[in-house]
Amino acid sequence: MTNYLDINPIIKKAIANNKPVVALESTIISHGMPYPQNKETALKVEQIIRDNGAVPATIAILNGKIKVGLTEDEIDYLAKSGTKIVKASRRDLPYLLSQKIDGATTVASTMIGANLANIRVFATGGIGGVHRGASKTFDISADLQELANTNVAVVCAGIKAILDLELTLEYLETFGIPLLGYKTNELPAFYTQKSGFDVNFKMDSAKAIANLLKTKWNLNLKGGVVIANPVPKDKELDFDLMHKVIQEALIEEKKLGIKGKESTPFLLGKVKELTKGLSLTSNIELVFNNAKLAAKIAVEMC
In terms of Cβ atoms closer than 10 Å to its own Cβ (0-12, 13-18, 19+), residue 100 is exposed
Q: For residues 147 and 215, what is the distance between their CA atoms, to the nearest angstrom?
A: 17
First to last CA, the chain: 25
Q: Which residues are catalytic?
A: 25, 160
**55 phi and psi, to 5 degrees?**
-110, 125
**194 phi and psi, to 5 degrees?**
-115, 150
Alpha helices in the chain (DSSP H): 9-16, 27-30, 37-51, 72-81, 93-99, 107-116, 134-137, 142-149, 165-174, 206-218, 239-256, 263-274, 278-301
Under DSSP, the state recorded for 272 is H
Do residues 179 and 200 touch, judged by C-beta distance below 8 A? yes
Residue 1 CA from chain centroid, whole number = 24
> Distances in Å between the alpha carbon of 110 and those of 124, 180, 233?
10, 20, 28
Do residues 67 and 61 touch, judged by C-beta distance below 8 A? yes
Do residues 163 and 152 touch, judged by C-beta distance below 8 A? no
Q: For residues 268 and 131, what is the distance between their CA atoms, to the nearest angstrom?
A: 13
